[in-house]
Amino acid sequence: MGIYTLTTMGAATELLDLPFGVPLADWDDPRMVQVPRGISRHVVRFIRANNQIFAIKEATDRYVQREHTLLQDLADRSVPAVEGFGTVLGRRTDSGEELDGLLITRHLPFSLPYRSLFSGRSLPDLRVRLLDSLAQLFVRLHLAGFYWGDCSLSNTLFRRDAGALAAYLVDAETGELHPQLSDGQRTHDITIATENIAGELFDVQAGGGTPDDLDPIETAMALRPRYELLWAELTRDEVVGRDERYRIDQRVKRLNAMGFDVAELAISSVDGGRKLRFSTHVVEPGHHQRALFRLTGLQVQENQARHLLSDLARFRATWTEGTGVEIPEALAARRWLDEKFYATLAMVPPELRQKLPDAELYHEINEHRWFLSEAQGYDVGRQTAVATYVDSVLSYLPDAKVEILTGGPPTEEFDVISDFA
């Protein structure tokens, strides 16, 4: 079994008997699974243990420890990234030969690499959704003081989020954490990302995997203006007249609509007191997530939460109109959760429920019901919507929680990069 030091977050007895004294490329363990992923500089393998999927990456001890620390720091800052679960350092074979270390992360359930987005059931306006999710990820990273250094689509995973995409950082080995990033660091990060994304989209295009109207260079170049627009909305100072204080409220509402809460609002008088300059300090995104969790206990993604809150608001308004009495939000939330959310999901065959997260499944059923009703000219009802969605859509979807491949190489790899000063 060799010599090694395994450090994990919490108990991990299911990992103790893995062949840590053997180079990762030579592992032959029945728990290994093949999961769709991007191209990697390092050897990466996936292990199914205790009903979870773990990604194991081989790199020098120095890089393993550094990346694990960065992933923990990002988690502390609520930045969307894979969870660093543990490290294996000081590895040696039974004969005493030194081996590189191992970084263990939890596989992100219901996530897809970018190549999978262009195959199978693609999202409409995929280009727009891809760019929006990347811009939001970069803004969140940069607000946290994280310089990525080598962003690429291969270093990112995506989750479907109520018709949108949510992007997650997967590889942090080139990253740096600072108290605050300079404009030059932010600009350079986006420049590198633009170049890498264009190259990766050309690769997908060469394999016939992108839509005909998707231009790799135009798509990659569109990242910067999206990022700059979002960054400016979150960080810029604004000057308004003293009689235009409503514009301050409008700014806060726009930030809330984008999913950001305002932690601090700094206001000072300028121009001899005739005008007000104000700036906002935003906390981590999740405005709608936190509101939904407070009302229902559901933990979902931001765009899903926005849609569920809208559905809850309609339910409450209908109830209030029917009774003539203003229904408290908390009371409406409890009834909506039982009569709408869980009751709808209960109509889906149990063996198909795992194909999508509950919130995404509920959203898709509602969308399906709306399209059916529009086509028919009347509300087709929940039962019909669920039945036709299951028969015509859900039954044909893969198990998105983790798509296990049955053939091909365990991963795509470049030559391993050695440590350097």
Per-residue three-class SS string for 360-407: HHHHHHHHHHHHHHHHHCCCCCHHHHHHHHHHHCHHHCCCCCCCCECC
Model pLDDT, residue 8 = 83
Given a cut of 90, whether residue 194 has pLDDT beyond it is yes
Confidence of residue 416 (pLDDT cuts 50, 70, 90): very low
Contact call for residues 52 and 106 (beta carbons, < 8 A): yes
Q: In whole angstroms, what is the distance from residue 229 CA to residue 364 CA?
A: 29
Model pLDDT, residue 169 = 95
Given a cut of 50, whether residue 421 has pLDDT beyond it is no
Model pLDDT, residue 235 = 81
Contact call for residues 204 and 110 (beta carbons, < 8 A): no
Written as six digits, the tokens of 12 are 């991990």
Q: In whole angstroms, what is the distance from residue 414 CA to residue 55 CA?
A: 17
**How confident is the prediction for the chain on average, in pLDDT?**
84
Model pLDDT, residue 122 = 58
Amino acid identity of residue 367, one-letter, is E
Q: State the chain's maximal CA–CA distance in angstroms.
A: 80
Written as six digits, the tokens of 180 are 């605050």
Confidence of residue 46 (pLDDT cuts 50, 70, 90): very high
Given a cut of 60, whether residue 57 has pLDDT beyond it is yes
Contact call for residues 220 and 195 (beta carbons, < 8 A): yes
95-99 mean pLDDT:
91
| Global pTM value | 0.76
Model pLDDT, residue 406 = 43
CA 397 to chain centre: 20
Confidence of residue 210 (pLDDT cuts 50, 70, 90): low
Model pLDDT, residue 124 = 60
For residue 317, report the phi and psi dihedrals to the nearest 5 degrees. -65, -40
Report the phi/psi class of residue 324: left, alpha or beta, with left for phi > 0 and alpha for psi in -120 to 50: left
Given a cut of 70, whether residue 142 has pLDDT beyond it is yes
Given a cut of 90, whether residue 278 has pLDDT beyond it is no
Given a cut of 70, whether residue 417 has pLDDT beyond it is no
Model pLDDT, residue 306 = 86
Given a cut of 70, whether residue 28 has pLDDT beyond it is yes
Model pLDDT, residue 402 = 58
Given a cut of 60, whether residue 403 has pLDDT beyond it is no
Helix axes 358-376, 382-392, angle to 10 degrees: 110
